[in-house]
Each structure stands twice: as structure tokens, then as C-alpha cells.
Structure 1
Amino acid sequence: MMLIEETAPAAEALPVAALRGHLRLAQGFEGPEDAAETAALAGFLRAAIAAIEGRTGKVLLKRRFRMQLDDWRDRLGQALPLAPVHAVERIEIDDGAGTVTVLPPEGWRLVPDLQRPVILPTGVVLPHVPRRGSVTVTFLAGFGDDWGEVPPDLAQAVILLAARYYDDRSRDERHHALPFGVSSLIERWRAVRTLAGRGTREWR
């Protein structure tokens, strides 16, 4: 499976003010509110968001992704690797010889689920993918466009982790493990991972 993030969270959606306020309360942070400082804090937030999303499989701020598979994992239904999924915009099958076919929306449906969203066929099975071909699914995932739509425990985990990254910015050795408080906040959101790609031909 290859998963590509096609759009990034908008800069204005990042909780820079919340991180700045946390740093002032917790560490006595008194940095000037200039463009360089704002850019640096936004960078710590993006890194923290990526880490939290990687551990939970939950997309915090809505954006577009493209997933490419050699074949469906199961033609009875294809699980998506991220949640929550708002919409599947397009499904394409490449025959491996230069022809790409867009599947009609009436041939499949999305079952939105907070843990394991699935694409199901409206018929018996999902369409056949040629042996040397691939299938590409373009979808929108995320809790919302604004930071206020992110669940409070995940939002707090991002602030705490970004603050840790800020603390570690000038150290030669960085902390790679998540702080205990962050791990506790995200624990209920962590899902058991399942293979999202490669079909039955891999097992033959």
C-alpha cells in the first residue's frame, strides 16, 4: 500500500495561540510574537500532529489522501487506513497498460466508522483489478477543518507533545518515546491495525 497526503492542514487551523499560552504557563515562555516565532511553533505543532496521527490512525484536521493498492485486500469490502473518513471522492483502476477507469459511485458505498471505515460494493464484490494493475482511492479524512472540532483529549495531547518538542529543540539528544501524559490521552483512540492493501494474489 502507498498512502499519500495530498493536502496539508491550513496554517490558520493550527493552535499556535494555545501552544504559546501553554508554554507561558508551564515554562515561563516569553518569546516575542513575531513571524519567526509563529512559524517555529507551527512547525512543532505539525510534527506533534503527525506523531499523534501516526500512533492512532486518526486524522485531526481534515485533508485529502490518496491510497494506492496492488489489489483489494478483500473484494467483499476494503478497509481504509485512516479515520474518520468524510467522503470517498474517487476510485480508479489502472489496468497496468495505460488505461485508467473511474468506478461509478453507484457501484460502491462508504461505511463511515470511527475505527475502521470500509468501502463496500453495492453488488456482490468490488471490481476486478488486473494482475499488473492497481486501484487508487482518493478520500477526505479528519475530524474537521477547525481545531475546535478535534476531540479535546487528542487536542491536549498535541499541545503537550509540541511543548516537549519545543523543550528539546536545543538538545543534542531528543526524546523519541511519547511522554506518559500524551500516551494516556491518546490510548482510547488507538486502533488495532489491519492490512489495508494487497489482495489475495499475494498469498497464492
Structure 2
Amino acid sequence: MLLVEETAPDQGALPVAALKSQLRLGSGFDPVEDATEHAALAGFLRAAIATVEARTGKVLLTRVFRLRLEDWRDPAAQPLPLAPALAVESVEMTDRTGAVTAVPADQWRLIPDNQRPILAPVGAVLPTVPMGGSVTVRFTAGFGTSWGSVPADLAQAVLMLAARYYEDRGFDSGQQLALPHGVGALIERWRAVRTLAGRGGRA
């Protein structure tokens, strides 16, 4: 399985002002210094978002992902590794020679779910993956394009974690592996049992 993030969250969607308020940081008079601080806070927020998403399997800000599999986990119902999935943009088969063929959209459908979205066949099973080849699924996932779309507990977890990263920035990064207790408690209900995205048994 190979999962690639094709698009990044829009810079303007990051809650830099909220983090700044939480850290009780005022605005300076030097625009260059303010821009530097803004970029640093955005970096801590991106790191916090990545951590929360990795722990929960939930995409906070909507973007496009590309999933490549050597075979379906189950040709009758292929789980997608991230939620909430909003749309499947395309499904493509690649044979052992590298030739790519688009799978018509009338052969598959998305079953949305906040925990375990499914790519399902319109008929009995999904199209057969070529021997020695792969299938690529492009899909869009996320709660929304603005920070206001993110559930309140996940949003607060990100702010708390980003603030921790800001405060601990002078320490060894190895000390930041464990989530603060408050952050763990906020994301607990969103954590789901992770499933393998594919068998990967083809050679």
C-alpha cells in the first residue's frame, strides 16, 4: 500500500490567530518579525495536525489523496484508510508494463462513513487488478476546507498540541513522542481500529 497526499491544507485555513491567542502572543511592530512568527506558528500547527490525523485516521482539512494497492483487500468492499471520505475522484488500473486504464465510474461507488468509508462495486465485485500490476484510487477526504468545519474536540487537540510544540521547541524532539494526556483524551473517541488497505499479495 502506498498513500500519498496530493494537496496540502490552504495556509489561510490554519488557525494561526487562535494559536497566537492561546499562547498570549501580541502583535509586534516589525512586519518582518510578525511574518516570521506567523510562519513558525503555521509550522507547529501543520505538525500538530499531522500528528492528530495519524493517531485518528481522520482528515481535518479537506484535501486529495492517492492510494495505490497491489490488490483489493476485499473485492466486494475495499476500505479507504482515511475518513471522512467525501468523493472518489478516479480509479485506475496499471498493468505490469505500466499501461494505465481508467475504470469507468459506473463500476464503483463510495459508501461514506466517519470511521470506515468503503469503495464498493456497483455489481458483485470490484474490477480485477492485473497480475503484477496495481490499482490507484484518488479520493477527497476531510471535514471541510475551513477550520470552523473541524469538530471542536479535534480542533482543540490541535491547538493544545501546537502550543506544546511551541513551548518545547528548544528540547530534544525525542521528548515529544508521547501525546499530552489532555490531547489524548480529546481525540480518544475519534480513534478507530485501523484496517489494512490491501492484501498486497500479488507478485
Tell me if both proteins adopt one fold, taking TM over 0.5 as the criterion. Answer: yes
* Aligned residue type for 2:140: L
- Contiguous gaps of at least 5 residues in structure 1: none
Q: Give the letter aligned to residue 188 of structure 2.
A: E
Q: C-alpha separation between the residues in 1 aligned to 2:55 and 2:66?
A: 19
SS in 2 for 1:86: strand
RMSD: 1.4
Matches of 2:199 and 2:102 in 1, distance apart?
A: 19
The equivalent residue for 1:191 is 192
Q: What is the TM-score of this pair, normalised by structure 2?
A: 0.94
Residue deviations 1:17-76 (CA, integer Å, cap 9, x gap): 00000001xxxx446371000000000000000000000000000000000000111111
Long gaps (5+) in structure 2 = none
Report the Cα distance in structure 2 between the residues aligned to 1:127 and 1:172, rounded to whole angstroms: 49
2 CA distance for matches of 1:139 and 1:59?
12
Counterpart residue number, 2:178? 177
Q: TM-score, normalised by structure 1?
A: 0.93
* Deviation by residue 1:155-190 (Cα, 9 ceiling, x = unmatched): 000000000000011123532100000000000000
**Separation in 1, partners of 2:52, 2:178:** 12
| Matched position secondary structure for 1:116 | coil
Mean Cα displacement is larger for which, 96-105 or 150-159? 96-105
Aligned residues of 2:7 and 2:63 also touching (Cα < 8 A): yes
The answer for the alignment partner of 2:3 in structure 1 is 3
Distance 1:48 1:56 in 2: 12
Matched-pair contact (CA < 8 Å) for 1:61–1:143 = yes
SS class of match (2:136): strand
Partner Cα separation in structure 2 for residue 171 and residue 187 of structure 1: 27
Secondary structure of the 2:93 match is strand
Which secondary structure does the structure 2 equivalent of 1:138 belong to?
A: strand
Distance in structure 1 (CA, Å) of the matches to 2:124 and 2:85? 23
| Mean CA deviation greater in 143-152 or 167-176 | 167-176
Aligned length: 198
Q: 2:64 aligns to what?
A: 64
Task: Confirm or deny: 8 A CA contact 2:70 2:201 kept in the other structure.
Answer: no
Name the CA distance, whole Å, in 1 between partners of 2:15 and 2:142.
16
